[in-house]
Amino acid sequence: MIFEESPIFATAGCLFMVNAKLFVACDLGAESGRIIVGNLSADRIQLNEIHRFSTGPSRVKGTLRWDILKFFDEIKLGLMAVKASNQTPDGVSIDAWGVDYAYASDWEPLLSLPFHYRDSRTDVSYPAMLQKAGRNQIFAETGLQFMQINTLYQLYDDVLNRPKIQEVADHFLPIADYLHYLLSGEAVAELSVVSTTQVYNPSSKDWSEALIGQLGCSPTIFPPVVSSGTLLGKLTGAVEAEVGLSGCRVYATCSHDTGAAVAGVPAEGKNWAFLSSGTWSLLGVEADNPIINDACLSANFTNELGFAGRVRFLKNIMGLWLLQETKRELAANGVTLDYASLDAEAEKTTALASIVYPNHDEFLKPGRMIEKIREFCQQTAQRIPSSPGELARCILESLALSYADIIDQLTGTFGFQIEVLHIVGGGSRSKLLNQFSADATGLSVFAGPVEATALGNLLIQAHTAGELSSIQEIRQVIRNSFPIDRFEPQQHERWAAALERYQEVKSLHR
């Protein structure tokens, strides 16, 4: 499977090493959640996936929601499984996607099922908030990429259409931090995920008073912000009694999965870029300070904060969502292929025959993905992909070209020197996409580890617990523990010509 991170099992003889420290990562993705145990001993870590569950959305009265209490139950089942395996964890932390959130009050733990970011409710609130506050003010306050899924526009929809819920809420909490709240009783939000909301000012390092005023909601619902790698406390008495783990600490590492994934990039030195590849592709570099200027606004880049005071200067790309939806639709029509088979079929087809712009608005929402890809190609006078292999190749090559386009902006517009691209996450398992990425960017590509998000989560816990001293040491542990595949560019001139075509079709569908 390309986008899902497969289990890595430690051998039984390695689970109980002398002086080993054991931490638990709850890694929530758009399709599945996993409970992963990490055993840290000396300068290596071994992983064991101990529980997996579905996280797919629920449709409720015409809306798309997250069944977050089900996630909580599954996390507790995972902790029970850790206990049943006779392991005693030092800590636990949760990471998840950004932008979505839950409302809670002191008298009621959940006031509403959280909306899914692909729900259509921001179709109205996004342009309405842009008109009310203005793009310039929003960007000056937050330095964040404009996407209609951002928390700012979801909150504004609540103001417009569900004001009573904010009247009774004591706080709203991002998904991972809401689950931390249920585990520990601490209602706080962690920096890496807060910085994705487009309501946080990375320069003043606080919620944006100006934008909260424009929203028209009470500032009291915005929780205290804690830094990446904060000890929140221990499991509550009720949770401790239910799962059977005594003294297990709860950490806010990087509640945003990309923040955890970038901490888990096994890079050395400087002049490298990262690509966290999964349902979404997030490509960028680490910077010392936020970059909030006209060039960043024009190019629609984003500044996200995270562990060790680093800034993730990056671009969000729709990612393997296009392939996930295509695979699902093929299966619904009786064509069942796994991701390895789609890769194999794609290799047999004509190179660079059809290109789409992955961030085209039409691709955001579920449904009709194959039809939307074909319509895009027809509208841009390209060959229309028909077979599963042609569809897969179109998607993978288009993603690789989008990566090359962003690398060009990072080097040309912003002056970063990039020599290596590190690809981590589930997408790093696709050798075809890795090779396309090297070909399109002209860079050496280092692929892996698949489990970078869980590794970042686990090793930041270890850092907070005093087991590791720095982000450099975290990355050294990962390099010591996992093999990394290398891909070198081929036929770069052919891909350079294709990049010009990509930029043309992008300009028509921005």
What is the CA angle 2-54-400, rounded to 5? 25
- Residue 361 neighbours by CB under 8 Å, 6+ apart: none
The interaxial angle of helices 431-441 and 339-347, nearest 10 deg, is: 50
> Could you tell me which residues are beta bridge partners of residue 277?
281
Identify residue 135 by its one-letter amino acid code: R
Examine residue 449 and say whether the peptide bond preceding it is cis (omega within 30 degrees of 0): yes
Measure CA 3 to chain center.
12
What is the CA angle 19-23-24, rounded to 5? 155
Rounded to whole angstroms, the maximal C-alpha distance in the chain is 64
Q: Which of 257, 343, 405, 439 is catalytic?
A: 257
Distances (CA, A) of 375 to 3, 236, 362, 380: 25, 53, 10, 9
What is the rounded CA–CA span in Å between residue 222 and residue 225?
Answer: 9
Identify residue 508 by its one-letter amino acid code: L
What is the rounded CA–CA span in Å between residue 216 and residue 508?
Answer: 36
> Could you tell me which residues are beta bridge partners of residue 249?
91, 234
Per-residue tokens: 415 = 């002056």
- Residue 77 neighbours by CB under 8 Å, 6+ apart: 51, 53
Whether the CB-CB separation of 475 and 267 falls below 8 Å is answered with: yes
What is the rounded CA–CA span in Å between residue 276 and residue 262?
Answer: 7
Identify residue 159 by its one-letter amino acid code: V
Per-residue tokens: 215 = 């929203």
Closest CA to 318 of 44, 506, 110: 506
Q: How many CB atoms lie within 10 A of CB 185?
A: 16
Per-residue tokens: 100 = 């979505």
What is the rounded CA–CA span in Å between residue 354 and residue 373?
Answer: 10
Instruction: Tell me whether strands 302-305 and 311-317 are parallel, antiparallel or unpaired.
Output: antiparallel
257 a catalytic residue: yes
The interaxial angle of helices 321-332 and 388-412, nearest 10 deg, is: 170
The interaxial angle of helices 431-441 and 492-508, nearest 10 deg, is: 90
Identify residue 394 by its one-letter amino acid code: C
Whether the CB-CB separation of 462 and 305 falls below 8 Å is answered with: no
Whether the CB-CB separation of 181 and 104 falls below 8 Å is answered with: yes
Catalytic residues: 257
